[in-house]
A and B are shown apart, each in its own frame.
Chain A
Amino acid sequence: MPEENVIIQLSIFVNNEPGRLAAIARTLKESNVNMKAFNLAESAEFGILRAIVDDPEESFEKIRQKGIIVKKTQVIGIVINDAPGSLFDAADVCGREGINIEYGYAYAGKNLSAFFIRVDEPHRAVTALKEAGIALVKGTDI
């Protein structure tokens, strides 16, 4: 079942101006959106905030209603706490399968550390990674 390993990330467009990120963070906090992990990609004039949150569906609606550009993106979490080198193995599997990793970022929780990766074909990636014996995060784990 690849679905249980496909995690919903919220991607948010941020203007690269002083205070914009803080304003978005405040809006998320006021909407009780709890960010578990996040990553900010920047270009000269805009940024893209990528966040793993509690209850992504409900959070998505809350954020969208605030007039913020938000989008749901499917990512995969590679468990890295008990298997050093699993990130390399995962990248290796994707490379062999011709699956391009767009970006990734780390997550460290109480029970679990993981690395989230964004690939174009998440379902195919989940199947390939699982076949290679790599442990993946389930949506319910975080």
Chain B
Amino acid sequence: MFWNSEIECLPKEGLRKLQYGSIKSLISKLYSSNAFYRHKMDSVNVKPDDIRSLSDISKLPFMTKQEFRDNYPTKMFSVPNTDIVRYHVSSGTTGKPTLVGYTRKDLDYWTDALARSLTSIGIGEDDTLQVSYGYGLFTGGLGLHYGAERVGASVLPASTGSTERQLELMQDLEVTAIACTPSYFIHIMDVAKEIGIDFLRDTKLRKAILGAEPWSEGMRKRIEESSGIRAYDIYGTSELAGPMFTECEERNGIHICGDMAYIETVDPDSGEPLESGEKGELVITMLKKEAFPLVRYRIRDLSAVYDDVCACGRSSPRIARISGRSDDMLIVRGINVFPSQIEYALMQVPQVGNQYMIVLTRDGALDNMVVQVEINPEYFSDKVKDMISLRSHIESELKKYLNLAVHVELKAPGELPRFDGKASRVKDKRSL
């Protein structure tokens, strides 16, 4: 089943022509009307006329997340604020968040991408989709909501939380599919088990669209084996629009709609383009975005691009499951955290010595972040209650800087590992 078979199954040659045309006109338009982007191109001495083939896109400079932060809130927007019909904001732990804006057309394309994606996994007007992504500043809830409405599915805007009630509604309304984070789905599974609900026996739920946080094939296998529900991976970040691309029924990579996006992989160190199938860092150019264009944006997610025609008939390139990040950003309970921010916060607390380790574990569905710190000997006390309040003090200071609850463990100086070269202060023990 296709939402738009003409564009989705466009022969490769036609798709490349379409992409080249889109990039060409996007770059010309940006160069003449967007000061930020013109300056970027001038700084590497590239003019719109230098783009003479699709592969010439590699001459264009990269865009980075830092640029979004530096130009907060709307300095990078290409349209007047009056043309913006919606904002979303993604959370970080310090500094400015990433603000994204959408014109009416931007929302339309986002919704259309999701309509194609939902159709590709067989979700349509006969379905009831429970959207258990957060609604609000986060893109997941509203994104899936409008996508599902477009294909004519009945939408249950459940958002997150009140899990028992969600299960009750799932049964009463005969929900057939759910969209949420993998960790929330695991929580729903746990609660269902506790109250004696078997999905296959007691509900009509058969499909789960999971994403917006890292997960693995191993986790998919576990979820499917214990719930009997077929799980699909979804991809997208707020800079692109939100979650917007999914696997098809083949589940052999996530289809990136070729008329909307041009996806490349580059070597994370050199920035040089890689061949299809080679593992590297994803770089994306959004071909139709209006509010703020994205040209060669370094998403920092590691994957590979497959450019053959999929067995489902779609010609759009597919990306392999995200295997990690090329920077050290951690996603903890949906919040982006850089170890450098934790380090900065720790160094503001005089009770903390010079060494620390960040240990991530997953307790059921919840991420748990433990920061082990060597204490500053000056603050050592022979009283247990003093030491416990010292620990609480460090925890509340970290909470203040990071806006994220962390558990602190006190260690004696010399107890934590020292690093000669590149320090690896993060132990991620979450089974993803």
Contacts and interface: CB of A to CB of B under 8 A. Distances in A.
A9 interface: yes
A32 B387 CA distance: 28
A73 B382 contact: yes
Contacts of B383: 48, 102-103, 118
Interface string B378-403: 00111110011000000000000000
Interface of B: 375, 377, 380-384, 387-388, 409-415
Contacts of A13: 375, 380, 412
Nearest to A24: B412
Contacts of A118: 382-383
B413 A45 contact: no
B384 A15 contact: no
Given A13-B375, A48-B387, A71 B382 contact: yes
A68 interface: yes
Nearest to B353: A69
A14 interface: yes
Contacts, number: 45
Contacts of A50: 382
3 A-B pairs with least C-beta separation: A11-B382, A73-B382, A69-B377
A65 interface: no
30 contacts: A9-B382, A11-B381, A13-B375, A13-B380, A14-B412, A15-B411, A15-B412, A15-B415, A17-B415, A42-B384, A43-B387, A43-B388, A45-B410, A46-B387, A46-B409, A46-B412, A48-B382, A48-B383, A48-B387, A67-B413, A67-B414, A68-B412, A69-B377, A69-B412, A71-B381, A71-B382, A73-B382, A102-B383, A103-B383, A118-B383
A41 interface: yes
Contact of B384 (A17, A41, A67, A69): A41
Most buried by B among A14, A17, A48, A69: A69
A69 B388 CA distance: 16
Given A67-B414, A69-B413, A43 B384 contact: yes
A14 B387 CA distance: 12
A27 to B, nearest CB: 12
A13 B388 CA distance: 13
Interface in A113-129: 118
B272 to A, nearest CB: 45
Nearest to B411: A15
Nearest to B414: A67
A63 to B, nearest CB: 12
Number of contact residues on A: which range applies? 20 to 34
Contacts of B384: 41-43, 48
Given A46-B409, A71-B381, 11 more contacts: A11-B380, A14-B412, A17-B415, A41-B384, A43-B388, A48-B384, A68-B412, A69-B380, A69-B412, A103-B383, A118-B382
A46 B412 CA distance: 9
Contacts of B387: 43, 46, 48
Interface in A20-65: 41-43, 45-46, 48, 50
Nearest to A11: B382
A48 B381 CA distance: 9
Nearest to A64: B377
B245 to A, nearest CB: 43
Contacts of A67: 413-414
A18 to B, nearest CB: 13
B373 to A, nearest CB: 11
B407 to A, nearest CB: 10
A22 to B, nearest CB: 14
A76 B43 CA distance: 74
A9 B388 CA distance: 21
B276 to A, nearest CB: 48
Contacts of B415: 15, 17
Nearest to B377: A69
Contacts of A73: 382
A47 to B, nearest CB: 9
A95 B384 CA distance: 21
A126 to B, nearest CB: 18
Nearest to A9: B382
Nearest to B370: A45
Most buried by A among B410, B412, B415: B412
A50 B384 CA distance: 11
A48 B384 CA distance: 7
B415 to A, nearest CB: 5
Contacts of A17: 415
A45 B370 CA distance: 12
B142 to A, nearest CB: 42
A114 B358 CA distance: 44
Nearest to B410: A46
A67 B411 CA distance: 13
